[in-house]
A and B are shown apart, each in its own frame.
Chain A
């Protein structure tokens, strides 16, 4: 029986090219960052993380989805081989970044989820976009504020902590409350920023 040989690296000869595309996406974000810094004297971005999904995670994901463990499946059946997370200072920065990235002629926005305006039931907030680049790769972009990022970091611990201590229902409920309080503060900070800069 002829089985397709899986290379040692799930991405095979694509890896180098994928790294270039990832750099280009980050460069696109840096464009807006520099422009806004020049125009308003404020950096709209707190930090940017970019990664190629690790070989092991990609293999696990393909297996979980019942897909063949091949380079082709990794690049066409899964849409987060490339991942970029941009953490912004203010709420409006998130949406400005969204518009800027979507305006890139080298990408097509194939999916968008606004979990900021429609928070997940647990309180999770972020703006998600799936981009398809002209080189043929999929990239998942997550845009969020610092508060949303802080919350997501703690929530991640709850998800992956093996031994669960304490009253789980209480913790889940309180995490949701914190998410809603942080969201409220994000709006207040945006309002204050607009008041300080004299924006209507």
Chain B
């Protein structure tokens, strides 16, 4: 199955060519031409992978990478770099990139790396997450503390995003993007209701973890 990808590359011809090839491979591609636009789109959420050129106007790829990791976005990132210098690659990986590709590269190699990125994304999903006194099992959708319940798919996905970003203020639009991927019927009321479901379920599994309202969004916090 294709992945939903963000492609940030300022060279128009290359951007167009890469988009065509990736779409042909069955991926859904959102293409942007500078670092600021990239960050805006990333914060809307819902990507399985991000391809970032390092040399870009407004904000370069490394700045974008640092900012999105600092904001708690853990979507896999593939860096594109024109320089074959070791330092650049080291800085990129240290800033939180999952992989890099040096220009010029063969399309075949890019596609293989994107496939590998999408696979890793699936592996990330299968794990036991925990925060405070709660555990969330990604295989069974079981939410447990002193007691246990099984969550629905959307409840699970929302809980997963909240745990992965525990302690951070998450905007409603970010959460809607991450969990509902821009589905037409989902809006702030949907999110509010699902937060209420999770609050109820946290209480009934005997957890002290809370979902607090933070500005226009929400934040997962440890209880007293």
Contact = CB atoms under 8 A, between A and B. Distances in A.
B146 A118 contact: yes
Contact of A183 (B149, B155, B193, B196): B149
A1 B118 CA distance: 85
B200 A188 contact: yes
Of B147, B197, B201, B203, most A-chain CB atoms within 10 Å:
B147
Given A117-B204, A117-B206, A118-B206, A187 B149 contact: yes
Interface in B106-155: 140, 142, 146-152, 155
A184 B151 contact: yes
Interface residues on B, range: 10 to 19
A119 interface: yes
A118 B204 CA distance: 9
A4 B25 CA distance: 89
Contacts of A187: 149, 197, 200-201, 203-204
Interface residues of A, number: 17
A7 B14 CA distance: 97
Contacts of B151: 184
Nearest to B203: A187
A184 B147 contact: no
A133 interface: no
A183 B146 CA distance: 14
Nearest to A183: B149
B150 A188 contact: no
B150 A177 contact: yes
Contacts of A116: 204
A154 interface: no
A95 to B, nearest CB: 11
A74 to B, nearest CB: 35
A188 B146 contact: no
A195 interface: yes
Interface string A77-91: 000000000000001
B148 A188 contact: no
Interface in A177-191: 177, 180-181, 183-184, 187-188, 190-191
A130 B151 CA distance: 33
Nearest to A184: B149
Interface of A: 91, 116-119, 177, 180-181, 183-184, 187-188, 190-192, 194-195
Interface of B: 140, 142, 146-152, 155, 193, 196-197, 200-201, 203-204, 206
Given A117-B147, A191-B200, 12 more contacts: A117-B204, A177-B140, A180-B150, A181-B149, A183-B147, A184-B151, A184-B152, A187-B200, A187-B204, A188-B200, A191-B196, A191-B197
